[in-house]
Amino acid sequence: MVRIMNGKLICKLVSIICALQFALTANFGWAQEVKVDSIVRNVQGWYDNLLDFQADFQQKTFSQTLKNTSEARGKIYFKKPHLIKWEYESPEIQIYIIDQKNFWWYVPEDAQVVKKKAESVLQDATPLSFLAGMGDLQKSFIITLPKEVKADEMGDVLYLNLTPRQESVNIKRMQIKLAAKTFQVLGMLVVDPYGNTNDIDFINIQINRDLKNKIFHFVPPKGVDIISGDAEQIGPSSKPF
């Protein structure tokens, strides 16, 4: 069975709704700008020192059309430069892999594999492209702090609001959740132009554990259907990017 969904309903990445506010009050606008630049530099520094990343994830996806929220959980593995594996454990087993050449999506229950060129999945300005080592936050996004949180009032968790510098069919706005002391990415929230949201939190995070390349190697099982398709049109509603 081929699962085909309207691309308008697919959130292109990880995520919590946050209204991006660009008109700042004059009394702390300058301080916020300085703070944001400092945070972004530290996030980029954390990322530059990152070799590999693995974690459990919890995901909530809201459909504006259906007016409902679905939940999922699983594991994520990432290794620079472009190796990514999302392994869903519930509500059903699904596997996404990006290797050096291809994007794979495997649903055992359907005996189906979707195959697409990796570069076509990573080329958009999404959190996935940043995670995959192809992105530069300040180049791709306008970045602010949440309006309701002043620069000197951040606690143990930091939030950055991002809006694409170029119009995107996949992202209207997004938010990155960070650890205040280490600037490690703890989660992401994406809202698309149609109001659908994708909210992912990372837990049990481990970094620089020398992940082996074989984790990202995928060979379609015998007997499954292999479909070459557009990631915009073929994919589950819980798609992580």
Give the DSSP letter string of 78-142: EETTTEEEEEEEESS-EEEEE-SSEEEEEEGGGTEEEEEEHHHHHSSSSHHHHHTT---HHHHEE
* pLDDT for residue 22 is more than 60: no
**Each residue's pLDDT tens digit, 191-206:** 989 999 999 999 999 9
More confident residue, 70 or 129: 70
Mean pLDDT of 86-96: 94
Distance CA 145, CA 142 (A): 11
Mean per-residue pLDDT over the chain, rounded: 77
Mean pLDDT of 147-165: 74
Question: What pLDDT sits at residue 230?
Answer: 57
Distance CA 100, CA 143 (A): 30
Q: Where are the domains of the chain?
A: 7-228
Looking at domain 7-228, its CATH class is mainly beta
Residues 6+ apart with CB under 8 A from 229: 2, 114, 115, 116
* pLDDT for residue 82 is more than 60: yes
The pLDDT confidence band at residue 95, using thresholds 50, 70 and 90, is very high
pTM: 0.77
Question: What pLDDT sits at residue 30?
Answer: 34
Distance CA 44, CA 157 (A): 17
